[in-house]
Chains A and B, each alone.
Chain A
Amino acid sequence: MTSIRAIAAGAAVLASLCSFVAPAKAQTYPTRGITMIVPFAAGGPTDVISRIVTSHMAQTLGQSIVIENVVGAGGTTATARAARAANDGYTLITGHMGTHAASVPLYPKLAYHPEKDFEPIALLAGTPILILARKDFPPKDLEEFVAYVKANAEKVNAAHAGIGSVSHVSCELLHAILDVKPVGVPFNGTGPAMNALVAGQVDYMCDQIVNAVPQINAGTIKAYAIATAERNPSLPNVPTTAEAGLPAFQAQAWNAMFAPKGTSPAIIASLNAAALKALDDETVKKRLLELGSVIPGPAERTPEALATLVKNEIAKWSPVLKPAT
């Protein structure tokens, strides 16, 4: 036993030497490092946005924020874990459209409820969704695309990155609006799906702007429209769905920060303030815009606005998505 204690003591000394914790503000939250669960792999859009924002928030809060990537089941494994975590403000999660809205109709046995098990903190950034097609797909613009898909619903192939992925969910919305049921060809992630689109093996897909911009600029694929209210600075020539004649198709892969239910309002307020400060920072803003992200406007930034967003999104996706048994 003495050896255990000796090691513990030794390790504790080393721990204090190694940790680069900024001088803590006495007795006020946060007094130690915060863990931010990201329900997707490192390097994905949600992870990148979380890292950009939290690295600035850590300066404001005076404590480190460690990102823990927990992958699995479309992000729901991680979200379930976050829902069960202590509500002391030291375990947070970056949720997104999938984990905090589309999962509700998709997984009937979901181990948490986005509204009941979480305290919303702040909306971070959204990634617009585009309608993309192989470069030699006959339709020239969105109107022709709609007509073509409706006329050839039996023949066309829509690629997506797996059940529950943003590309799957958003194309389901598109198909519901067009009232067609084309064959959906599943791929294992956006990379392989994009590869198939570039190679012309599939006809079209809906995907987040991040990966698509360089391909569109190089002319290896084409974009019909962007499903946001305004055009995106990184793709000024791509019209919005409203401009191109399909205003009903509005979708954005939003990312937002949540805490487990019951976290004190004071903690939520300080985290919200830190997040907003990060979003207003010029470098943070620039890096997010480089990714094609949309930064929320003043009205969308309160925890209440996020709560409303979650509610509306669940209502939006529920009729569109069938449960994956």
Chain B
Amino acid sequence: MELFANLAHGFAVAFSPINLLMCLIGALVGTLVGVLPGIGTIATVAMLLPITFGLPPVGALIMLAGIYYGAQYGGSTTSILVNIPGEATSVVTAIDGHQMAKQGRAGPALAIAAIGSFFAGCVATVLIAVLGAPLTKLALAFGPAEYFSLMVLGLIFAVVLAKGSVLKAIAMIVFGLLLSMVGSDIETGASRMAFNIPELADGLGFATVAMGVFGFAEIIRNLDAGAEMNRDLVQQKITGLMPTRKDLVDSAPAIVRGTILGSILGILPGGGAVIASFAAYTLEKKIAKDPSRFGRGAIEGVAAPESANNAAAQTSFIPLLTLGIPPNAVMALMVGAMTIHGIVPGPQVMQKQPDLVWGMIASMWIGNLMLIIINLPLVGIWVRLLRVPYRLMFPSIVIFCAIGIYSVNNAPVDVILAGIFGLVGYWLIKHDFEPAPLLLGMVLGPLMEENLRRALLISRGDWSVFLTRPLSAVLLGIAAFLLVLTVLPALRSKRDEVFTESEN
């Protein structure tokens, strides 16, 4: 029962007053910054990394982990309230979450997101402690070919989650893929479609585009003549703050399924968490009795992806803790934080730094508990924010977004680019194109292209690797099946003709 001894040790470390305080500060600061529109998890952790440098190593990492999942909680808040996803994993939450807010159900949406995240966090924490080491094999079994197939599957998910025309959704994904190709080519370093603009050399940032097509576009559209009526209606409609019994019953299975999907996909380095959130959404939509509710404020559409992305956020620590390899950008920052304290994580980090590893695992659970205690009462405050007259609210959102985008890279050009994408997003709304598939195409595009090229480089141009490697073949099979499932009904009848009223 080494496990219990380890966990007990971890809790002993995490429950020391100083570490509890660090955890609390981290969770609070993470929530605070994550809730600012324009600043997602990665940006939050990157920005706040320096303030942990002066702390003792264990405390610093506990605080940083707190910032990480605190930002995750905060990020879903902006998705739901103002339709601004701070990062790729909460794009899906915005779809149904913001619809719920428009129907006066922001309270239940926020609460279910917090509850789902808490449940997922608890399960994932136990999973890390119990199965961390064996699950590591999964991270190593995924080579370029498997990643490519996973990304193809991910893009199919993006089609499924579209609520309108399938053709338009596919077009948006491809548009997203094209946008993702702006910048330096990974293999040759050649500058692609960057027009010699130095700020484009590294491509378009996710936050920049997301802020534009979701945040700014939404604001501009709300300022349209005639839109005041809708806004005022929303403000009068606010009903209960907490989910009803029916909401809880509806979302409980979704939370469980989301947690399972998220826990598994989170272990995969690079892109796992993103795919987790909309795999969860797609699953809910596919097994729902009435899929047409999705995209119009279905509570499962908030519960499942939020649980999935929080579970994935937790399990993405597994490769870091067992292999010493950061699976994503946030974890790379964590490694940076460890490095500055003279700890370089490796495969033996669990043996060599038991205080750090088990303390951090225990603190994750404590942090999640703190977050739900912080967030549930906050729901009332956030919902009250919606009552602020729009004429005051929208300039504030503009300013927060602008400062947020600027502070991610200290680059003024990013702010202007976000503005341009705001106009693009406004145009997309006017022509009934959905921005979510575009963003997902943009996030998954580079992963797909890079892994395709890597796989072909390693196989020396032999395309059959995608089918001869069993994991990859299975993933492609699922993708093909899903595609058929989605496209067939769409071909049979133009979907959702009853609801052509644009309520995007």
Binding site for A on B (CB under 8 A): 46, 49-50, 53, 139-141, 143-144, 184-191, 196, 198-199, 201-202, 269-270, 319, 323-327, 331-337, 339-340, 342, 344-349, 409-411, 446, 450, 453-454, 457-458, 460
Contact = CB atoms under 8 A, between A and B. Distances in A.
Contacts of A324: 184, 188-191
B393 to A, nearest CB: 20
Contact of A211 (B185, B344, B347, B410): B344
Contacts of B446: 188
Max chain A C-beta neighbours (<10 A), residue from B190, B336, B345 = B336
Contact of A202 (B188, B319, B458): B458
Contacts of A183: 457-458, 460
A80 B198 contact: yes
Given A111-B198, A195-B319, A324-B190, A189 B332 contact: yes
Interface of A: 41-45, 47-48, 51-52, 67-73, 76-77, 80, 106, 109, 111, 157, 162-164, 183-189, 191-192, 194-196, 198-199, 201-202, 210-211, 213-215, 217-218, 220, 287, 290-291, 324-325
19 contacts: A41-B333, A48-B340, A183-B460, A185-B454, A188-B270, A195-B140, A195-B325, A195-B327, A198-B323, A199-B139, A210-B344, A213-B344, A214-B347, A214-B349, A215-B346, A217-B348, A324-B184, A325-B189, A325-B191
Contacts of B334: 43
A163 B201 CA distance: 13
Nearest to A209: B344
A48 B337 CA distance: 9
Contact of A201 (B144, B196, B269, B453): B144
Contacts of A51: 50, 53, 340
Given A68-B410, A163-B188, A220-B347, A43 B337 contact: yes
A192 to B, nearest CB: 6
Given A76-B198, A183-B458, A191-B332, 17 more contacts: A41-B332, A42-B46, A42-B50, A42-B336, A43-B49, A52-B340, A70-B411, A72-B199, A72-B201, A163-B184, A163-B188, A192-B269, A196-B143, A201-B143, A202-B458, A214-B348, A215-B347
A217 B332 CA distance: 20
Contacts of A52: 340
A157 B337 contact: no
Given A73-B198, A324-B189, A214 B324 contact: yes
B346 A42 contact: no
A232 to B, nearest CB: 13
A43 B196 CA distance: 29
Contacts of B187: 163, 184, 186
Chain A facing B: main interface SS: mixed
A186 B191 CA distance: 16
A45 B338 CA distance: 12
A325 B323 CA distance: 36
Contacts of B411: 70, 72
A201 B458 contact: yes
A194 to B, nearest CB: 5
A217 B346 CA distance: 9
B398 to A, nearest CB: 19
A77 B46 contact: no
B342 A291 contact: yes
A164 B183 CA distance: 14
B202 A72 contact: yes
Contacts of A215: 324, 346-347
Contacts of B323: 195, 198, 220
Nearest to B187: A186
Contacts of B345: 214
A104 to B, nearest CB: 14
Contacts of A210: 339, 344
Nearest to B349: A214
A218 B334 CA distance: 20
A109 B196 contact: yes
A205 B47 CA distance: 31
Contacts of B349: 214
A163 B188 CA distance: 7
B17 to A, nearest CB: 25
Contacts of B190: 324-325
A191 B409 contact: no
A67 B50 contact: yes
Contacts of A198: 140, 323, 325
Given A42-B49, A109-B196, A199-B143, A185 B346 contact: no
A148 to B, nearest CB: 18
A34 B199 CA distance: 25
Contacts of B325: 191, 194-195, 198
Contacts of A72: 198-199, 201-202, 409, 411
A188 B327 CA distance: 11
A185 B460 CA distance: 11
Max chain B C-beta neighbours (<10 A), residue from A111, A187, A192 = A192
Contacts of B332: 41, 43, 189, 191
A73 B347 CA distance: 31
A188 B50 contact: no
B336 A163 contact: no
A185 B453 CA distance: 9
Nearest to B447: A188
